[in-house]
Amino acid sequence: MRIVFFGSPAFAAFSLCKLIEKGKNVVAVITTPDKPAGRSMHIHQSEVKKTALKLGLKVLQPEKLKSEKFVTQMRQLDADLGIVIAFRMLPEIIWSMPRLGTFNLHASLLPNYRGAAPINHAIIQGEIKTGITTFFLRHEIDTGDIVLQQSVDIDAEDNAGSLHDKLMKAGADLVLQTVNMIETGETAGRPQEITGYEKPAPKIFREFCRLSEQETVLKNHNKVRGLSPYPAAWIETPDGPVKVFKTRPFENTSILTGDSITIQKEHLLFRCKDGLLELQSIQPAGKASMTARDFINGKKNK
């Protein structure tokens, strides 16, 4: 079976490695064009491209997915199956081209958390369980027929980074299982069951990441977990915005403070509407990330 693989970040590269390791015939890898990045503006290659080159695979990097050149290249590949993981939205002329269709790996238990940021939003909403889904592409995003799903626990100490890695590993196994089922004709997919109570996972913008004194300790704590390490929650201080990577609810409720941020001995505290949240790992504007203790010591030494 001839497979065309679409993807860009490490989340997708892990599945690509699994497919090649298990002997699947990936005839081409489609990824984003190289772009300058960082202060030095060095040319950046996607993780999928780096992986594909190491594996000796054919790489295509179209600027426009509807261009005549790319459509022709896709036809010449004569693909039986397309696989999409963390890539741009594909036009129908591309995803409908493989003989057996094109499926996507999504980092949630669809139809919950459709959208661009399912890992972040699952933690922000305080879920204790999420998962991964493979489904066939159709016109509306994240709505196609489901092939396979697998649940994954969210531990109390998980943040977006650790949950990403859990789902990445489980996802690679699910992608392989999905390919095997399609290869042997065992599945046609099943429609998603819509109840009307599904939770969305929209793209995250900076203002959404700001912690609020009007929210509870638990909601602010889960927001920090769900946004760590990237794009990171933040608070406003007299010295400018401060990113927050790790917190914990502060047990000593006898401490009263009228300030939104206060230092109590070795504790850096943020006031919420029902208590205090201890900030443990932060990054002041223009500085490297640091522990709260280092931040407090720096204040004392000034």
- The tens digit of pLDDT for each residue in 76-111 reads 999 999 999 999 999 999 999 999 999 999 999 999
Specify the pTM.
0.94
Q: Burial letters for 270-294: b for 16+ Cβ neighbours within 10 Å, e otherwise?
A: bbbeebbbbbbbbbbeeeeebebee
Q: Tell me what the mean pLDDT of segment 187-193 comes to.
A: 87
Per-chain mean pLDDT for the chain: 94
d(CA 261, CA 232): 18
Q: Tell me what the mean pLDDT of segment 121-134 comes to.
A: 98
Q: Tell me what the mean pLDDT of segment 292-296 comes to.
A: 90
Per-residue pLDDT for 188 more than 90? no
Please give the share of the chain, as a percent, with pLDDT higher than 90. 83
Q: Look up the CATH architecture of domain 206-300.
A: Roll (3.10)
Please report the pLDDT score of residue 255 as a whole number.
65
Per-residue pLDDT for 298 more than 90? no
Q: What tokens does 107 get?
A: 């980092």
Please report the pLDDT score of residue 181 as a whole number.
95
Question: H-helix or E-strand containing 62?
Answer: none
The Cα-based distances of 230 to 3, 226, 243, 248 in angstroms read 32, 9, 10, 18
Please report the pLDDT score of residue 256 as a whole number.
61
d(CA 238, CA 240): 6
Per-residue pLDDT for 257 more than 70? no
Per-residue pLDDT for 39 more than 80? no
DSSP three-state, residue 34: coil
- Residue with the bigger pLDDT between 40 and 75: it is 75
The Cα-based distances of 100 to 74, 136, 171 in angstroms read 14, 10, 20
Per-residue pLDDT for 37 more than 90? no
Please report the pLDDT score of residue 144 as a whole number.
95
The Cα-based distances of 233 to 89, 154, 211, 223, 267 in angstroms read 27, 19, 7, 7, 19
Least confident of 61-70, 113-122, 180-189, 293-302: 293-302
Judge contact between 291 and 280, C-beta under 8 A: yes
What is the band of 220 on the pLDDT scale with cuts at 50, 70, 90? Answer: very high
Per-residue pLDDT for 254 more than 90? no
User: What are the residues whose beta carbons fall under 8 Å from the beta carbon of 115, sequence distance 6 or more?
Assistant: 121, 141, 142, 200, 201, 202, 203
Q: Tell me the domain boundaries of the chain.
A: 2-183, 206-300
The domain covering 2-183 belongs, at the CATH homologous superfamily level, to Formyl transferase, N-terminal domain (3.40.50.170)
